[in-house]
Amino acid sequence: GTMPLTESVAIVTGASSGIGAATATALAAEGATVVLAARRVDKLEALADRIETDGGDALVVQTDVTDEDDIDSLVQTVTDEYERIDILVNNAGVMLLEPLERADRSNFRQMVEVNLIGLMNLTHAVVPIMREQGEGHVVNVSSVAGRMTNAFSSGYNATKFGVNGFTDAVRKEVSADGVRTTIIEPGAVDTELPTHIPDDQVLEQFSEMDLPTLEADDIARAITYATTQPQHVDINEMLIRPTGQT
């Protein structure tokens, strides 16, 4: 059987939309107290209200994961309030697809800082607490793009390959202390993610492809599966494509 999350505290980054919002909702439904972190605090407040209306517990902490002070104060706020962190879902991400020669270097930097450095820094801040507890679970949302590349995706691929390498190396350091790590690799999911693509041609191609997509809830279920396993079961990696996507 699966383990209830009734005594668990879970931080979800990028909880203001898409996969993060669905994951926070799903973990709260399993009984976890969820900490909602992102920049758009109005969206987080609205989600917290929905979770609490459904009988769950939620705390909103406005966080820009590219800001180290925000990372540290997020962790401090959660430990002050609950004295533990059981689950960290590093989900915040941006996908600024561009052909290399038209790519804006500031978009490279933004993707690396959100998708990779933000995830690394928050993991760095939370893992010592989990080690001290003797258990904890870090779920890092990577992508199919963490395993295979595409034209116009070089910067994004770099960040997601980075997430996979970082997470697997961290696993080798923390697993013996009871800390679990899961890499989640979604295929196409219907969210706001592609709406930020800066290149008009890539955006047009993307919207004309008309591929099958997953719903954010489908990924939330995978994360719930991994995080409700008994402590001795460590789901290291899950690759989830919509049926029909090759």
Per-residue binding string, ligand NDP, 87-126, x by CB under 6 A, is ----xxxxx------------------xx-----------
Nearest CA among 12, 198, 191, 190 for reference residue 97: 198
* Segment lying near ligand NDP (by CB under 6 A), choices 26-34, 99-107, 186-194, 226-234: 186-194
160 touches 93 (CB < 8 A): no
User: Among residues 127 and 189, whose Cβ is nearest to ligand NDP?
Assistant: 189
* Segment lying near ligand NDP (by CB under 6 A), choices 47-55, 188-196, 204-212, 228-236: 188-196
Identify the three-state secondary structure at position 174: helix
The least distance separating ligand NDP from the CB of residue 177, rounded to whole angstroms, comes to 26
193 is an interface residue for ligand NDP by CB under 6 A: yes
82 is catalytic: no
User: Among residues 18 and 162, whose Cβ is nearest to ligand NDP?
Assistant: 18
The only residue of 123, 167, 181, 191 in contact with ligand NDP, by rule CB under 6 A: 191
Report how far residue 182's alpha carbon sits from residue 43's, in angstroms, rounded to the nearest whole number: 26
User: Among residues 136 and 146, whose Cβ is nearest to ligand NDP?
Assistant: 146
* Binding residues for ligand NDP restricted to 1-40, rule: CB under 6 A: 13-14, 16-20, 38-40
For residue 50, give both structure tokens.
Answer: 């929905």
For residue 32, give both structure tokens.
Answer: 């976890």
- Torsion of the alpha carbons at 186, 189, 193 and 199, rounded to the nearest 10: 90
Strand residues in the chain grouped as ranges (E):
9-13, 33-38, 57-62, 87-90, 136-141, 179-186, 237-240
For residue 181, give both structure tokens.
Answer: 């790590």
136 is an interface residue for ligand NDP by CB under 6 A: no
For residue 139, give both structure tokens.
Answer: 């779920």
From the candidates 108, 152, 156, 161, which is the catalytic residue? 156
User: Among residues 31 and 242, whose Cβ is nearest to ligand NDP?
Assistant: 242
Q: Which of the residues are catalytic?
A: 156
